[in-house]
Amino acid sequence: MAMDFYEVVRKRRSIRRYLPKKVEEEKLNRILEAARLAPSAANKQPWRFIVVKSKELKGKLRAAYDKDWFIEAPAIIVACADPREAWIRSDGEEYWKVDVAIALEHLVLAAANEGLGTCWIAAFKEEEVKKTLKIPNHVRVVAMTPLGYPAEEKGPVSKRKELSELIHYEEW
């Protein structure tokens, strides 16, 4: 059953232990659809997602990110960008990382809404991911996340700065 959006935001945690239970295709498709619907600069949608379920390929991804809990998740989602398809601001600033981050956050929140766990991974060896998954040279791997049913219960989100420390009105 779907949660209230703010409950999803409050309850979403980084999960590092997963049950061996497969993720249902209907849930996976809803999660991927949430990512597809994410906004992007000039609606360019430069993202591509690779869903890895094969035990063999997940094992090979260990060369890129060497954690048991990562490869033991039922699925791994690899978030990529084609910089050639992304919008570029007039001063040359490229937006492909931002666009993929927005889409992946949609995916992560949708997964939480479905009762699934994720853990945003940024500290990986990109060339190993590209080699393992046959990703073209011009495509960039932005992030990865395991996806599955949590095998751990996490408490409230860790300490966050107060809103007053983060928000300015009218000027800095």
Residue 131 in any domain: the answer is yes
Q: Is the pLDDT of residue 53 over 80?
A: yes
Q: Is the pLDDT of residue 142 over 70?
A: yes
Does some domain include residue 85? yes
Residue 167 lies inside a defined structural domain of this protein: no
What is the residue whose two structure tokens read 């939480």? 112
Q: What confidence score (pLDDT) does residue 134 get? A: 98
Total domains, the chain: 1
Q: pLDDT digits over 16-25, tens only?
A: 999 999 999 9
pLDDT tens by residue, 143-159 = 999 999 999 988 877 78
Q: Does residue 36 fall inside a structural domain? A: yes
Per-residue pLDDT of 80-135, as tens digits, reads 999 999 999 999 999 999 999 999 999 999 999 999 999 999 999 999 999 999 99
104 within a domain of the structure (yes/no): yes
160, part of any domain? no
Q: Which residues contact 147 (CB under 8 A, 6 or more apart)?
A: 23, 28, 31, 73, 74, 75, 76, 77, 111, 116, 117, 118
Burial profile 87-115: b = 16 or more Cβ within 10 angstroms, e = fewer? beeeeeeebbebbbbbbbbbbbbbbbbbe
Check residue 159 and give its pLDDT: 86
Q: How far apart are CA 99 and CA 87, in angstroms?
A: 9
Mean pLDDT of 57-66: 97
Helix (H) or strand (E) holding 70: helix 68-72
Residue 137 in tokens? 């040279």
Q: Is residue 154 part of a domain?
A: no
Mean pLDDT check: name the lowest of 23-37, 75-89, 158-172: 158-172
Whole-structure pTM value: 0.94
Cβ–Cβ < 8 Å for 93, 77: no
Domain boundaries, position 23:
5-149
As a whole number of angstroms, the distance between CA 3 and CA 13 comes to 15
Q: What's the CA gap between 61 and 71, in Å, rounded?
A: 7
What's the CATH code of the domain at 68? 3.40.109.10
Residues of the chain with pLDDT > 70: what percent? 99
Task: Kindly state whether residue 165 falls inside one of the protein's structural domains.
Answer: no
